[in-house]
Amino acid sequence: MDKTKAKKRIDELRKLTEYHAKKYYDEDKPEISDFEYDMLMVELRNLEKEFPEFIDKNSLTQKVGGKVKEGFQKVEHEVPLQSLQDVFNYDDVEDFCIKVREQASKNKIENTRFVVETKIDGLSAALEYKKGEFVRGATRGNGLVGEDVTENLKTIQTIPMKLKEDIDITVRGEVFISKKDFEKLNSEREQMQEELFANSRNAAAGSLRQLDSNIAKSRPLDIYIFNVQKIEGREFNSHFEELDYLEKLGFNVNPIRIECKNNKEVIEAIKKIGEKREGLTFGIDGAVVKVDNLKLREILGTTAKTPKWAVAYKYPPEKKETKLKDIICNVGRTGVITPMAILEPVKVDGSTISKTTLHNEDFIKEKDLKIGDTVVIQKAGDVIPEIAEVVKEKRTGEEIEFNMPTECPVCGAPAVREPGEAAVRCTGIECPAKLFRNLVHFVSREAMNIEGLGESIISQLLEKELISNIADIYDLKLEDVASLKKNGTKFAQNLINSIESSKSNELYRLITALGIRHVGTKASKILAKKYGSIDNLANADFDSLSMIDDIGPVVANSIRDFFVQEQTIDLIKRLKEAGVNTIQETDENEDNRFEGMTFVLTGTLQNYTRLEAANIIEKFGGKTSSSVSKKTTYVLAGEETGSKLDKAQKLGVTIITEDEFKNMIN
């Protein structure tokens, strides 16, 4: 390759690796497997080696990926948390061992030993102890500066808060989620129609880097310690000696560490871990080879990014062929219809795979999948199993094309795919698959605001078959609700009162509660004011809807599709029969002093929540917006304002204080 082509490819690879490193380290949402990323890095590293004049200190080959997430305090690591040099074949492992022995021989160090450990698939963290007390914990970050995640680390039961000796020590470990817990976590997220974690590392990192420690507490995080970063008052000769001491202090130390006397034993240890990896309770993506002698480590030194006394052997992803027997469709709680591949069971990387998600219609077309195809399944480490490709040369001509359903497979309502979206959704409001989520939304504070009817009570009502659709809420009897709790009469009476009270809610609350796609509280208020009743809204044509400010054609289509369905017509009829208000009350003395004005709220207000302030503005005929523009009339600024205030000043938008706002509404 000539220099021009090499420079062009190096630039391309740097952009690619930066993008995927950001997805992996900063957002905890990888888009490609570890192996694919590693191959990009190998290509970049080899090109930089061949053309050293193009090496740049900002290249990811020269620095550790990752940065401090906004909202966390920064922690400067006294001892850098470096990454490891990856190798992908045994020849490179041999070369590493030979170079180490050569340096040992030059410095008259005999009996050079190595330690081979599992490379745990998680998030690296440093734990700091003062006089045996856990005082601070931080993520690796960019190796020099990490994030203070002390409160989140305190939720991990295997991290000792007090050591067995009163010693000052900083250790490094890997936070992870076990295979069993990872599968359970993703299964729960799938049931809730939440985005699945791509792998156990993604799950652990996403859990540890939460600003709310309650989220970390709810996740099954664990940790293995694998290194002493810094210690006061003690010295060690070997890495093995360090690890034994860490166990005596009470740490949960990496359980797999194999001492090796020579190169051959190192290779055998890597192979042994590879053979046993599928039986391990935790996920790994490689084996780490370390020099055991700590004095030799000092002599070998480090680069800016990696130590010269260790390498990480990365296992290649396992791939297997199997048959795509069928494609079925599941309906999630949000109404998204997801195609699922039914496979001839095949064992891949320790797991028996009999089904896997096909994500959406575009994925099936991109892979050119047909029922009856021979397909390649891959599962690198703990990555969710996926169909990598179709073995087209094995097609017989009997394969069957798959098309996404036009009707919901559960309730028969129209299934639609809106422009710009990949998902196909069920539009039925009474669909059993969506019922729980629809009920939770219907009774929520911003909708019908039925106090006491939370997720737990809704689950019990469904389980005991006391309700089977939204309208059934208004048929509940005191004794039905009282049966849900011991001595539950008072609770039941309060709930029945709240249900009864909700019947007289303003019309916009009912429109919000119906959960029409793209129609939130703001749009509901506009529609209630414009049409005056649920019947008028149901009969509104597309043209009149699409001409309303803040509605437009997409929302108009969604409203029309919703109200023409039999399920919707039936629900509205039953709500009317139950006495639920479906008419907008008119006020002849309506005050529209803010008509034609747009407000933007920023900062913390002392006397109102933002929602309360927005409701007042809308009550007086005004509108609120989340962004400042030349069309903004006023920016209402509280304390601790952000960039919106700066933008308002630049655009010359009038900025008002909370006191000025109070004067405007009084």
Instruction: State the Rg of the chain over Cα.
Output: 31
Max CA pair span of the chain = 98
**Strand locations in 373-428, DSSP E?**
374-378, 386-390, 415-416, 424-426
Q: How far from 656 is each of 132, 517, 661, CA to CA, in Å?
A: 53, 35, 7
Contact 509, 447 (CB under 8 A): yes
Nearest residue to 360 via CA among 336, 330, 338, 387: 338
* Structure token pair of residue 645: 């205030």
Kind and range of the H or E element at 14? helix 3-21
Dist. CA 354–CA 326, nearest whole Å: 11
Q: What is the DSSP letter of 639?
A: B
* Structure token pair of residue 173: 């470990």
Nearest residue to 415 via CA among 399, 398, 400, 403: 403
What is residue 257's three-state secondary structure?
strand
Nearest residue to 404 via CA among 424, 429, 431, 376: 424
Contacts of 241 (CB under 8 A, 6+ apart): none
Q: How far from 198 is each of 24, 380, 385, CA to CA, in Å?
A: 10, 11, 9
Q: What is the DSSP letter of 106?
A: H
In this structure, what is the dihedral angle of CA atoms 435, 438, 443, 444, given to the nearest 10 degrees? 140
Nearest residue to 549 via CA among 623, 599, 632: 623
Dist. CA 102–CA 94, nearest whole Å: 12
**DSSP string spanning 554-593?**
HHHHHHHHHHTSHHHHHHHHHHHHHT---BPPP-TT---T
Kind and range of the H or E element at 535? helix 534-539
444-472 exposure pattern, b = at least 16 Cβ within 10 A, e = fewer: beebbbbeebeeebbeebbeeebbebbbb
- Let me know if 381 is exposed, middle or buried by CB neighbors in 10 A (0-12, 13-18, 19+): buried
Dist. CA 511–CA 179, nearest whole Å: 44
**DSSP string spanning 343-373?**
EEEEEETTEEEEEEE--SHHHHHHHT--BT-
Active-site residue (options: 69, 119, 525, 623): 119
Nearest residue to 372 via CA among 425, 327, 314: 327
Contact 165, 251 (CB under 8 A): no
- Let me know if 265 is exposed, middle or buried by CB neighbors in 10 A (0-12, 13-18, 19+): middle
Between the two ends of the chain, the Cα-to-Cα distance in Å is 75
* Structure token pair of residue 206: 């996403």
Could you confirm whether 650 is annotated as catalytic? no
Catalytic residue numbers read 119
